[in-house]
Amino acid sequence: MTRQFVKLTYEGPIATLTVARPDRLNALSPEVITELLDAVGDLAQHGPGLRCVVFTGEGKAFIAGADIAAMQGMTPAEAHEFAVRGHLLGSALEALPVPVIAAINGFALGGGCELALACDFAYASEKAKLGQPEVKLGVIPGFGGTQRLLRRVGVGLARELVYSAMIIDAQEALRIGLVNRVFPHDELLPKTYEMARTIAEMGPLAVAACKRVIREGEMMPLPHANKLEVEAFAGCFRSADQKEGMTAFLAKRPAVFTGG
């Protein structure tokens, strides 16, 4: 499909997914959700050459939230469909076999914060503002915020943020574990790409297995999650990447991984 509000670009093994609706602070209208779902579908089909995705926004915002003008007149059935598609997008980001890093360059509110939570981890500009302000509008988070937020920062902090509609700055987001690192604004993307390149140099099958085991294991009792890890660890020994990685280590040379 032709995308008006979403850009997807590639540089070597790294893809950049950008919401490009800066005049509306990248607000999530139904059309933007559709374009993001399409772009993430392209990423899922890209193949073994893709090693990491950077997800960001154009202009002053990452994603400032859902498009209130588009939501205001929704019927309950339309709101249900909108939330379902938002959840599909979050799940699609989580299901990508490569890590997705959110580069939060400004506002990440409501649905924007929720999509950042669906990424593997987040880096933030010192100018970033994050929060789930939906109750101020008479609704609740609808794209996974009540669930992913508590899994990221703990139930007590999640309740405080959601119940109060509190918007926090980047340093507070770092303190509570909502983002991993905070950088001066001009350094956010260079530092994010630096990490993306580091990940891209690792064994891609092993990174994909780590992502899957962490995601699935989070929802399991610990003994079951540990069993999942054992099976994934053993499975790595079927790969050419395992043989290359260990051979390269013993030969004291960089490994050349092919994803095979």
Residues annotated as part of the active site:
114, 134
Question: Three-state DSSP class for 41?
Answer: helix
CB neighbour class for 72 (10 Å; exposed up to 12, middle 13-18, buried from 19): exposed
How many Å apart are CA 67 and CA 28, to the nearest integer? 5
Q: How many CB atoms lie within 10 A of CB 251?
A: 9
User: In this structure, are residues 118 and 53 in contact, taking their beta carbons and an 8 Å threshold?
Assistant: no
Distance, in Å, from the CA atom of 82 to the CA atom of 73, rounded to the nearest integer, reads 12
Contact 61, 22 (CB under 8 A): yes
Task: Look at residues 50, 136, 41 and name the one whose alpha carbon lies nearest to residue 88.
Answer: 41
Q: How many CB atoms lie within 10 A of CB 81?
A: 13
The alpha carbons of the chain give a radius of gyration, in whole angstroms, of 19
